[in-house]
Amino acid sequence: MAFSGLHVVCGYPGSLFARDKSQAILGKIAWSEAPTSGVTSTNVAPTESAGSGQAMFRIRAAADSWVSVGPTPDATTGKRFLVPAATDYDVYAEPGDKFQWVEA
């Protein structure tokens, strides 16, 4: 089945051990979701736990998309950024942040 829409994974960057020697890749996963366009995610960015650091969202869209991240995200008229199609896009999230997207 072909990928459509947008998918977001929330997790922590890098290793939980020897963080100063690890690569900045997605490590511990907290949740993932594929919200419908214009609908705010049901999950929120978690707080730091057990030295995990700041959570991040990894976003992948099937088409160019406007994305908004925050406590009350609005991808149509609020603060937003463009995520190009077929590209992994990482952004740090504050605890409690949610996610919303609309196709560009």
pLDDT one-digit tens code per residue, 27-68: 788 999 999 999 999 999 999 876 778 889 999 999 999 999
Structure tokens at 17: 């051990």
Q: Mean pLDDT across the stretch 73-102?
A: 94
The pLDDT assigned to 27 comes to 77
Residue spans of the domains in the chain: they are: 6-103
pTM for this predicted structure: 0.83
Q: CA 46 to CA 9: how far, in whole Å?
A: 12
Task: Please give the DSSP secondary-structure letter assigned to residue 39.
Answer: -
Q: CA 104 to CA 48: how far, in whole Å?
A: 32
Q: What's the pLDDT band for 4 if we cut at 50, 70, 90?
A: confident
The pLDDT assigned to 15 comes to 61
